[in-house]
Structure 1
């Protein structure tokens, strides 16, 4: 009995912060302003209400379990990518595994042509939003025309009793080749750097968390050379191996999903948060259990074939300690 009590007491000061690419979380309604035709009831994918509700219930199950074994509670902050609008996030936080967790939602519409955005879920009892803003990433394609990509979501708030800045990202894809599109992700990295510099100019000891699907690995030029300077730390560098990552493409693991933070999370101070550890949430129930893609993330569709899974990405998370 004493051991059980000690286990609970030991973990009360630990919290999880997560990021999760939700893989095309679209509603079933046609939005004439975006290219959502693939995710409608009359499309080839036959995306309907039943499939939508099944997906958000599954995603809610995942989110409620991220880091739970270590903290005995769901994550207090969850950055998300590939969501069509605010309504899908509101639906997500009212699914059976999240509805009693009192999550709030921060979301802005991005200019992305497919209509997919980023967002932030936060537990209201632990986080209070002070301000939020969407910041455009201005990149051109090879023809010199603007390539409309996702905005950066900047949220300033009070985490427990400490002010924290959160940047949620979804950088331009590698669709036309990693090397040919690298300049776009470098631009996104530089825009994050610009925001970080602006924050620290106003408050030198500001706490900052940068998370997202960067479409680049921790050692890619965009992150290693253009984003992570002496003031930032990337705990994800040690997590990517030949056998583990957050997504798998052509039998190769990548770790595009990352959480990076300011170095002051390494400092122990009373009334502040400090970093504990980082991990990929790749439990067996999130993996394809047989066939050609065995061990890969269990996704909702493979091509146009409905498989009924979760996402083509695993979530990632960090655990922090609140020093009271």
Structure 2
């Protein structure tokens, strides 16, 4: 009798396990990322650009070798972002602090990225430092449909002179068949102090909001990702009051924006760049409500992260733990960037 009970119990366990295994869903997963490449300039003096002050142009020797190493270091990082879960480099990655299309071509043709067959979306912008934003995408995963560059017109509060800064890049396309829209940003810096420069980032946020509103006026359910180095934290007015972001998914209205990086900053103290022993989380990726729904028949947000592996940080000295930047004290450090990359995973039920 005891043997019969044991066999019956074992059978019930096996049946329950089998049902659970059958009900387990399998998902496709893609990484969408953003990375400030910290002054990725070539070694050619462009007479039409103010590139003489770039760190690599200020070097006295070995510019070509250092440029190649800088490109390879950037390629190494991009190849690894999100790969522990997706087993692939980012399907799409926004970048900033790049000089021109040529440096992007060198980057995507590095042996570490060549097999990914990245395409490039880039427009030359008016920034006074000659740095632009761009989008890289794996051609077999993402197909651009519309691309546009949007000029941010701002003025210095004291002199009223025009401040030439980065354009905002809008790319609409299909990620594995799903229509998504991506806005790539590099908002004005805090030069002159946070308070004095604040209005410039508020203006950048307002331009961002107009782009989002325009997309949502055509389709309230538009899937939009806003990414970039904002030079503001998730709690600053530009993000909270202008974009009206929410840190809790349940509180995001239909046309609202979810910022998964706010809790990382306020509750965990995480950051992507450091200055004077204080961390800032300037690099962020935000999503509109249709990307955070629970229906995974199309691509939805799963989770977000900061890619801050040990090799990307300084190992010792005064700057221990800070991002291991490429250039410091007038020389090349063989580092990477003064910012950590950020990423989100998008997942979708696989059709078996």
Q: Structure 1 length normalisation: TM-score? A: 0.93
Question: Which one of the candidate residues 69, 89, 111 is aligned to 1:96?
Answer: 111
Aligned to 1:239: 264
Contact 1:12 / 1:71 at 8 angstroms: preserved in 2?
A: no
- C-alpha separation between the residues in 2 aligned to 1:19 and 1:42? 25
The range that moved more, 208-217 or 265-274, is: 265-274
Aligned to 1:296: 322
Query: Alpha-carbon deviation of 1:43?
Result: 2.8
Aligned to 1:279: 305
- C-alpha separation between the residues in 2 aligned to 1:136 and 1:47? 36
- C-alpha separation between the residues in 1 aligned to 2:79 and 2:27? 17
Aligned to 1:18: 33
Tell me, yes or no, if structure 1 residue 141 matches structure 2 residue 156.
yes
Contact 1:235 / 1:278 at 8 angstroms: preserved in 2?
A: yes
Query: Alpha-carbon deviation of 1:193?
Result: 0.4
Contact 2:39 / 2:55 at 8 angstroms: preserved in 1?
A: no
Aligned to 2:217: 201
Could you list the runs of 5+ residues in structure 2 that have no partner in the other structure? 1-20, 246-252
Contact 1:166 / 1:210 at 8 angstroms: preserved in 2?
A: yes
RMSD: 1.8
3-state SS of paired residue (1:38): coil
Check 1:47–1:315 CA distance in 2 against 1; reply closer, same or farther (3 A cut): farther
The range that moved more, 263-272 or 179-188, is: 263-272
Check 1:91–1:10 CA distance in 2 against 1; reply closer, same or farther (3 A cut): farther
The range that moved more, 12-21 or 280-289, is: 12-21
Superposed CA deviations along residues 106-139 of structure 1, whole A, max 9, x for unmatched, are 0001100111000000011110010101000111
Question: Which one of the candidate residues 220, 223, 227 is aligned to 1:211?
Answer: 227
3-state SS of paired residue (2:227): strand
Aligned to 1:27: 42
Could you list the runs of 5+ residues in structure 1 that have no partner in the other structure? 1-5
State how 1:297-316 maps to structure 2 within 5 Å: 297-316=323-342
Contact 2:43 / 2:57 at 8 angstroms: preserved in 1?
A: no
Aligned to 1:127: 142
State how 1:113-192 maps to structure 2 within 5 Å: 113-142=128-157, 143-192=159-208
Check 1:47–1:134 CA distance in 2 against 1; reply closer, same or farther (3 A cut): farther
Superposed CA deviations along residues 70-129 of structure 1, whole A, max 9, x for unmatched, are 121111010000000011011101111100011100000110011100000001111001
Contact 1:28 / 1:39 at 8 angstroms: preserved in 2?
A: no
Query: Alpha-carbon deviation of 1:44?
Result: 4.4
- C-alpha separation between the residues in 1 aligned to 2:31 and 2:321? 25
3-state SS of paired residue (2:45): coil
Contact 2:58 / 2:330 at 8 angstroms: preserved in 1?
A: no
Of the two, which has the highest radius of gyration?
2
Tell me, yes or no, if structure 1 residue 43 matches structure 2 residue 58.
yes
Contact 2:168 / 2:183 at 8 angstroms: preserved in 1?
A: yes
Question: Which one of the candidate residues 243, 246, 255 is aligned to 2:281?
Answer: 255
Contact 1:21 / 1:315 at 8 angstroms: preserved in 2?
A: yes
- C-alpha separation between the residues in 2 aligned to 1:196 and 1:47? 44
The range that moved more, 58-67 or 33-42, is: 33-42
Aligned to 1:3: none
- C-alpha separation between the residues in 2 aligned to 1:163 and 1:134? 19
- C-alpha separation between the residues in 2 aligned to 1:271 and 1:280? 27
Q: Structure 2 length normalisation: TM-score? A: 0.86
3-state SS of paired residue (1:296): coil
Contact 1:18 / 1:318 at 8 angstroms: preserved in 2?
A: yes
The range that moved more, 223-232 or 123-132, is: 223-232
